[in-house]
Structure formats: C-alpha cells, structure tokens
Amino acid sequence: MPLRAHAKTIVAKLVEQNETVAVAESLTAGGLGHAITCAPGASQVFLGGIIAYTNDVKVNILGVNPALIEEFTVVSEEVANAMADAAREKFGTTWGIATTGIAGPGDYQGIPEGTVWIAVRGPINQSLQLQLDSGREAIRTGSISSAIGTFARILSYRTN
C-alpha cells in the first residue's frame, strides 16, 4: 500500500478512536511527521514531533537516559523505545513513534550503514529493526515507509 494510503488509514483510525500521535525522529529528520500530515484531517490527531538528530537533543530535550545510549548505542531498540515514550509524554498523546538509525554514508561506531530501529509505543508496543541499503535517501525513505506501514497495520488490526 502506498505511503499516502497508509497515512490516510492512520488519520482515519486515530480520528475514529479519538486518539493522537506524536513522533521523535532521528535519521528521518521530520520525514515521518511530514508523511502523516500529508493526509487530510491530520491536524485532528497529529500533535507534533521532535527532530532529535543528535545525542544531545535525545538526552536533553527528549530525556533519553544517557546510560541507554552508552550501554546499547544510539541505534538500538532501547533508545528507539525511549524516544517514542518521550514523544508520547512530551505531547500527551496516545501513541508515540520513533526512528533512529544510520543513513550513511558509512558505518558509525561499528553499526553498519542502513541499520534502523523503529518503535511504536502506546496501547500496543512494537519495535522493529531494519537493515536497508541503496544509499542515504533510500534508507531514509524506507525507514519512513516502514514506520508508517507498521503503525497503519497496528491501528487496522487492533481491537479495543
């Protein structure tokens, strides 16, 4: 399903459930929030996002525990979950979605280029790791598509 169709599903399901979402983005640098807000009606359910491109912003703005970054690295399930939880808390939303990864060029501290973690936190928690290739822009685009598709599926199959 194309990105815009997933975004429409997200907005429709959130409106239907009277729920909201916020994002915390690293490697996607605002692309995830942009993708969601392309759908009509997004202003009813999307409260905002934080682009936490550096570790300093992850720690000092989002409140990610630096010990998590030290122990697991910035590109980890633990940090992605902490970022998504922080987005929920900072914006007071039902759901938080986070992305963290290495878009390249090149590896970072032994983490291969294309390694990505996505976390969805809320009434259902899910995280996934991706290993993408084909260059910086393809890694970012693939991360956004995967995050949007994952969240749309969670909302579509969820029963209250």
Which whole number is the average pLDDT over 143-154?
A: 97
Confidence of residue 158 (pLDDT cuts 50, 70, 90): confident
Average pLDDT, the chain: 96
Position 138, amino acid: A
Flag whether pLDDT at 27 surpasses 60.
yes
The ranges assigned to domains in the chain are 3-157
Q: How far is the C-alpha of 14 from the C-alpha of 112, rounded, in Å? A: 35
Backbone angles phi, psi at 129, to 5 degrees: -105, 140
Q: Name the pairing type of β-strands 126-131 and 115-121.
A: antiparallel
pLDDT of residue 103: 95
Mean pLDDT across the stretch 105-129? 96
Choices 3.40.50.2300, 3.90.950.20, 3.30.497.10, 3.90.1150.10: CATH for 3-157:
3.90.950.20
Average pLDDT over residues 79-85: 98
Nearest Cα neighbor of 143 from 57, 37, 23 is: 23
pLDDT of 136 reads 95
Rounded Cα distance, 130 and 28, in Å = 14
Which residue blocks in the chain are alpha helix, DSSP H?
3-17, 31-37, 55-57, 66-72, 77-91, 136-157
